[in-house]
Amino acid sequence: MLTPKLFRREIILHAKNAAKITPLCPHAPPNDMCGGCTFQDIAYSDQITAKTKALIALWGDLLPPTIPTPTVVASPDPLHYRTRMDFIASKERFGLRRGGKFNYIIDLTTCHLVPTEAFAIAHDIWQQAIAAGVPDYNLRTHVGILRYIVVRRSPDNRYMLALITSAPDDNAEAAIAAIAQAALVNPAIVGIHWLRNDTPSDVSFGTPYKHWGEQLLPMRVGNNVLHIGPNTFFQNNVYLLDDMLAHIGAAVPAGQHVADLYGGVGTIALHLAESAQSVHCVESFAESIDLCHANILTNLRTNVTAEVADVGEFLRKTTRTFDTMVLDPPRVGLGELVCKEILRHSPQRVVYVSCNPLSQIEDAKILSERYDMTSLIGYDMFPQTPHFETLAIFDRRS
C-alpha cells in the first residue's frame, strides 16, 4: 500500500540534487520556513523534473508500455497562482504553520503564492482587528476569537474575504462589522463573510454568520462564469485550470451522456456542456449543488442537471446510463465501493482527476479488472510544494 510518506519521499528523492536558487521569501528553506512553499529554493524547471520522475516511479510497473511517458505540465507562473489562501491568526502572529509544526505559526510579512494586493488586504484586516481589541485564537488553549482570514481570488483579481472566528463578544461584533464595511471601499473586494467555528476543531471553514457586499465571487473559467461562496471548493491554480479543462474536454467525445461525479459547483460539467448531449453533476455538499444550479442558469445551459448525493449511493441506485464518467474525488480517492459501482455501470470511458496520486493508483488497480489506462498526465497545480494533480483516462476493454 502506497503511503503519503512514500509519496513525499519520492518527490524529495528526485529533488535533492536539483539546482538551488535564492528564494524570494525570507522564510523559505533553509530558514525558519512556513509550510506554504517548501520547494521555493529549488529552480522551477527542476521542480517539474522531480515531480515527473516521482510520478513515473510511483506508478512503476502499473504504467502500460503502450501509453506515452507521463509528464507534469508546468504552471505558466509558479508564483501568485492560488485562488484561495488561508492565513492563521494565532499567538499574535499572522501567517502559516511551520512545516511539520501544527502549533508554531510563522509570522508573515509577505506571501508569494497570492498577488501582493491579496496578501496586503488580508494582513491589513488582521492588523485592524488586533488593534480594535479582537483577540486572535490560541490553538493550544482555545482562548480567543479570530482564527483565520481567508482570501479568495478570481482570475480577474477580485477578492472575497472570510473571517473565521469562535463565538464573539460585543466588542468583536462591533469591531469586525466596522472593519468589513471600511474594507469594501476597495473596489477589488467583492464581499466579506464572517463565518463561525465555535468548536475546538481547527478548520478554516465555518457557519455563515454575517456578510457585507456581494455574497458570491464570480470566477471566469473558459466560456463560463462560475459563482463560488466562502466555503466552496474550487481548483486552486488560476493559471492551469483552463488547460486541464481543455484536456478533459478533449477526452470526452462529443454527443455523449456524461456523469460528472464529485462535481462541486459545476466547473467540469459546464465546460463539457458545450459538446455533450447531457451532463449530470453529482456532489454531496449541498451548498455546492445550490451554486451549481445557479451557475447552470447563469450560463444558459439546458443540457446540465445536478443533484445532491453521495457518489457511491448515487451509482448504486441510479438507473441512468452514461457513456463517460468524469471523476474528481477528494484526496481519499474513490475507494473500493465506488470503483466496484463504476465496474458495474461499465461506461465506455472513465476520466479521473486526482489531487492524490497514491489513492488514484489504488483505485486504478481495482478498475484494471475491466479498464485499461490509455493516458496519464500530471498538472503542477501547486508550484513550490511537493504536490501535483494527475489526469488519467481509462477505456473499457471490448
Catalytic site positions = 355
- Cα–Cα distance for residue pair 231/181, rounded to 1 Å: 21
Handedness of CA 244, 381, 148, 180 (dihedral sign): negative
The closest alpha carbon to 266, from 240, 238, 305, belongs to: 305
Cell output for 172: 468583536
Cell output for 110: 509577505
- Cα–Cα distance for residue pair 288/207, rounded to 1 Å: 14
- Cα–Cα distance for residue pair 297/30, rounded to 1 Å: 50
* 358 contacts 381 by C-beta, under 8 angstroms: no
**The dihedral formed by the CA atoms of 121, 382, 94 and 155, expressed in degrees to the nearest 10:** 10
* 266 contacts 282 by C-beta, under 8 angstroms: no
Contacts of 104 (CB under 8 A, 6+ apart): 97, 98
* 303 contacts 278 by C-beta, under 8 angstroms: yes
- Alpha-carbon distance values, 112 to 40, 75, 188 (Å): 10, 14, 19
Backbone angles phi, psi at 143, to 5 degrees: -110, 140
Cell output for 283: 456532489
Cell output for 209: 454568520
Residue located via cell numbers 449541498: 286
Determine what percent of the chain falls in helix, strand and coil, rounding each to the nearest 5.
Answer: 30, 30, 40
Helical pair 44-59 and 4-15, crossing angle rounded to 10 deg: 130
The closest alpha carbon to 77, from 112, 49, 107, belongs to: 112
C-alpha angle 83-87-90 in degrees, rounded to nearest 5:
170
